[in-house]
A = this chain, B = another copy of it.
């Protein structure tokens, strides 16, 4: 079983390492020069729950790859997915399964440009990971994966179940689920409030949650996500999704955390994934004739902030 990890960042490093440890033939694929050079020279240095491990994993630029993969797992940034899939197109055969665990909404269309729907498996994950520098991963805590087939029929379903079994073999705690679309929208709605608000207001989740504006903002944004999801056959439980957003506010649990979008833009001056969160709702809203004014303005404001900061 030949597995390609398309995007060997934090989460790609975790999945690549754990699958390799389970005996699979894993190839990391990336385009970041320093990261590739470091892993080729020293291996992938992993802080595994405080213990240093070194993984000698092969890592390649897309153009260096030969042959095809049985499974490609995508872990690029959302904005990099299309370019990565174009670059590794020669490694994807009609039998290659493609697993997408990216955060956010709107990756289906990108992926279906590159693989047939019958081979496409989509999901989301609660695993976390960090990169502390080129060639250095920080892997702590536990997680899980939910995935399902995008194409219809028993063969597509069997393919997804097979991938879930393979990931679980490697300790990645994966389950086949028919609710992936629901959980994707649910998670995106949370990110669509918390990530964007903390980025625009430059604060942690507790500080935002403590403002008198938090409640009306989260209600309107969750309603916009739910209105769009309903047009795709997903009926979000609005009250439950709102309650789920509120769980991020208490300062004595996770409220002091600064979400990933804040870290991308405010801390590291990188462009955000807002086009795959509120921006996706805004695009789909126009497509379905559903008003999404808060998502529209949030997306415009985050992009304005990226441009003003000249984010890379």
Contact = CB atoms under 8 A, between A and B. Distances in A.
Interface string A295-311: 01110110111011000
B293 A213 contact: no
A283 to B, nearest CB: 14
A180 interface: no
Interface in A177-197: 197
B303 A213 contact: yes
A211 B308 contact: yes
Contacts of A220: 293, 296-297
B213 A307 contact: yes
Most central of A214, A291, A296, A308 by chain B CB within 10 Å: A308
B304 A213 contact: yes
A203 B300 CA distance: 15
Contact of A293 (B211, B214, B297, B301): B297
A236 B63 CA distance: 58
A217 interface: yes
Interface size class of A (residues with CB under 8 A): 20 to 34
A33 B264 CA distance: 46
Contacts of A200: 200, 301
Nearest to A224: B293
A201 B301 contact: yes
Give the secondary structure class of A's interface: helix
A202 B201 CA distance: 10
A13 B43 CA distance: 71
A269 B213 CA distance: 18
Given A201-B305, A211-B308, 13 more contacts: A201-B301, A201-B308, A203-B308, A208-B304, A210-B307, A211-B303, A212-B303, A212-B304, A213-B300, A213-B304, A214-B304, A216-B296, A220-B293
22 contacts: A200-B301, A201-B304, A201-B308, A207-B308, A208-B304, A210-B307, A211-B304, A211-B308, A212-B303, A212-B307, A213-B300, A213-B301, A213-B304, A213-B307, A216-B296, A216-B300, A217-B297, A220-B297, A293-B293, A293-B294, A293-B297, A297-B297
